[in-house]
Structure 1
């Protein structure tokens, strides 16, 4: 792709330090002109917040002009997130919130969240009081955020995916504990231009569509490389 093309670089599930090599080697192959980086959660492994700096430094080294917008994943433990914000202070962290950034003249609104599950995992049921209600409220909040139209394009950035074919490769028995049909319905109804998610390490389908909306799984254990998405002013997005 030629220098100056409006593009987004996206990745998730670095689980630093586990998959830093995938991140480093693929970032090194890119032209350094990207203006927006999306990080789809699970930046560190098991709450090891100190490892966040590795990811931040790689982004700064290879994509020095980019705004980095990230969400937290399930291994970015609640108690570690404050320290992660300090270690990766250059990231714009979204927790059920939105931000608008300019990418080569396009006003791109990013709605970001850890996301929701149709059914909490067994661990969550045992250890996270009120998790069902948390997911219900979060889905409602995301609907409200997506109702607020601004900018030229809207990107939904989550860790947990909406239900779609990017789950192919994962054990179908556990799809309800890995994704959300409710979130997929929001995508259909709210006019989202693109969805970016992580979480799916065994995914064999890295791009799908919900209606006309492209959905990208950018989890590094699955993709082995960062994902590059080219933005076009008419609202079309092209996967590279």
Structure 2
């Protein structure tokens, strides 16, 4: 029986690269997206080209009703997911903290923290052997910003990813005895569209000289780390982090 993976924010960037890599490795793939339906459909076409089943669900992970529907549709069309990648995330325009308003902070934390918690909760409810499940694995997409703080740019985003790191450690301990592994990746400066959301599409080019490897990373490089953490090769790995950051 095929394994099912659910990837939030799977229409572009790291999520799309992970979805395609999962399809190549034999997973049936469910992705969520918020707005970009054409990009989501292109991801599905590629996965089906690998001979796998694929489903895209429009859902805002910050909304509990959307998360419930996302998991329900995944189960209905593909089956119960054995793997979850909490990839959906947002950032806002570069700013210092003194210029941030509460609306911005709520938007960032609602998606990056509340959304991740809600999706992890629904995965645990289905995977936990204590609740009748067969086990599984969760990978949270954090950020090197959680360790570096992103001063003068995104301290709110960095703080939200710090919360994701804490969730990763705590949940791994909480569900480790019920057949679920929980890990995270911390991407560094990666060539994705998220930098445009911050108002600087070419940010990677500006900061890559500060990376020991002197280059930005690709979404595919992050995806490979995610898929390893989900695989049986990582069967004794939980509560751990892989830095995909070129040494930064």
Please classify the TM superposition score into its range, dividing by the shorter chain length: 0.3 to 0.5
- Which structure has more helix as a fraction of its residues? 2
- Which structure has more strand as a fraction of its residues? 1
Q: TM-score, normalised by structure 2?
A: 0.44
Of the two structures, which has the highest relative contact order with CA contacts closer than 8 Å and spacing of 6 or more? Answer: 1
